[in-house]
Structure 1
Amino acid sequence: MMITLREVQPSDLDQFFQFQQDADAAHMAGFASTNPSDRGVFDHHWGELLNSADAIVRTIDFEGQPIGSIAAFEDEGAREIMFWTDKQFWGRGVTTEAVSKFLQDFPQRPVRARVVVDNVGTLKILESLGFTEVGEESSFSNVRAQVVQEKILQLS
């Protein structure tokens, strides 16, 4: 398996936009745009992320193709990580390898992650990399149009 992390290219954004059109993936993420087909909202979000002085953003590349993204940013005094992988790569170890590489490249700790409690795949990935639960909170998910429980995990 050839997974690399690289700087985000403008052409990657078209692929990322397509990934967010997948209703199942958006449901599992829990937090995405209310209207995933609104390219203006998408471009605004990505523009802010890519231009943020405190964000580290990478494209997950599999055999020369962008298959997802991973980012870390400051939130409430701690670095938080988030990632999204194209659904066709779920369950293949690709995301675990990508997150592991990202964490090696950016060793600042602690790192936190928030995961909707029923997103078992993401919880398994994070736990396999040493994240442990440090809290839980209720948040409104615009994708699900309801309040969801999120686990807060941390890697120290």
Structure 2
Amino acid sequence: MTNTVITLIKTEKEHLELFFQFQLDKEGSYMAAFMPKDTNDKAAYIERYAGYLLDATKNMCTIKVNGVIAGSIGKFIMNNEAWITYWIDRPFWGQGIATAALEDFLKIEITRPIYAGVAFDNQGSQKVLEKCGFVRIAADKGFANARQAEIEEYIYKLAD
């Protein structure tokens, strides 16, 4: 990552168009696994995430690499617990961007504990979480829309 500048900025509504395009990537959505039922409904996607931007319980950031939008990262609340989610556009995979972005995000988002879920076979995201101090604490099963099957999901936790 020599000379690579990674920055996090507050997500703006105009970023959602690009995020919608990112999630259409078949390999990316396969790895993410747990996706909405209809990922092709752009209006529904924009409406849902635009609402999230107004939700004070969510913290949504856009990841930029050398000034180019490369992904998103955010915190949300589920069952009264803080969870983290992120998406890196496939051309940026394998460059340490997710790890650097998560490290930076965890300096901004100080809620602890914070959890993350990842598909059992998404070794890239598992490594990112572990490098950032998350510990695998459980496994669960859930229906993965992107795979049209029930799969195992690993649950990670960052305690401090």
Q: What TM-score comes out, normalization by structure 1 length?
A: 0.96
Per-residue CA deviation, residues 72-104 of structure 1 (Å, 9 max, x unaligned), is 011122210000010011100011000100001
Displacement of 1:111 in angstroms is: 0.7
Which residue is equivalent to 2:109?
106
Whether contact under 8 Å (2:13, 2:53) holds in the other structure is no
Residue from 127, 130, 134 that aligns with 1:131: 134
Q: CA separation in 2, counterparts of 1:44 and 1:144? A: 24
Q: Which runs of no fewer than 5 residues in structure 2 stay unpaired? A: none
For 1:6-155, list aligned pairs within 5 A.
Answer: 6-155=9-158
Q: CA separation in 2, counterparts of 1:19 and 1:28? A: 13
Q: Which amino acid aligns with 2:63?
A: I
Q: Which runs of no fewer than 5 residues in structure 1 stay unpaired? A: none
Displacement of 1:53 in angstroms is: 1.9
Displacement of 1:44 in angstroms is: 2.5
Whether contact under 8 Å (1:33, 1:41) holds in the other structure is no
Q: Which amino acid aligns with 2:142?
A: S
Q: Which amino acid aligns with 2:95?
A: R
- Equivalent position SS for 2:16: helix
Q: CA RMSD in A?
A: 1.1
Task: Give % identity.
Answer: 33
